[in-house]
Amino acid sequence: MSGPHLRVDWTRCDGHGLCAPMWPERISLDEWGFPVVAPEPLDDDELPFARRTTGVCPKLALWIDEGR
């Protein structure tokens, strides 16, 4: 659980699918159009791009869990 993670608030996500083409190395879509996010923590140098990616989600469902 250590380190920041890209997470989905599943109660908000409606499967708009804008996140996957933004960062295909980390996010793909399942057969119903919902994101499958790679489980590995985010490296420090990935954080700026992770923030840009969360910014495209129209439902603010994609978020960065800073970890505790």
Partner 1 sequence: MSSLPRTSLERRPTAGAEAPIPAVHVLGTARLLAGATGSSAVGYAEHLALPGTLPQWRLDTLIAATRTVGLLGRGGAAFPVAIKLASLRTGRHNRVLVNGSESEPASWKDRTLMRCAPHRVLDGAILVAHALGTRKITIAVHDVVSARVLQAAVRERVDARRIRVAISDGGFVAGEVQALVNGLAGRPPVPNGRRTLPVDKGLDGRPTFASNVETFAQLGVLARLGPGGFRGAGSPEEPGTTLVTLVGDVPRAGVAEIPTGTPLRALVGASSSPVLLGGYHGTWVNDLDLYLDRPELRAHGISLGAGVLAVLPHDTCPVGEVARVARWLSLESAGQCGPCIFGLASIADDLERLTAGRPVDLSRLHRRLGLVEGRGACSHPDGASRFVATALQAFAEHVERHGDRRPCGLPVRGVLPLPRGGAR
Phi, psi (degrees; rounded to nearest 5) at 28? -125, 175
Q: Which is nearer to partner 1, 44 or 68 (CB)?
A: 68
* Number of residues that make up the chain: 68
Binding site for partner 1 (CB under 8 A): 8-15, 30-34, 36, 63
Q: Which is nearer to partner 1, 19 or 45 (CB)?
A: 19
CB of 39 to partner 1, least distance (A): 8
How does 5-20 read in b/e, with b if 16+ C-beta sit within 10 Å? Answer: bbebeeeebeeeeebb
CB of 2 to partner 1, least distance (A): 17
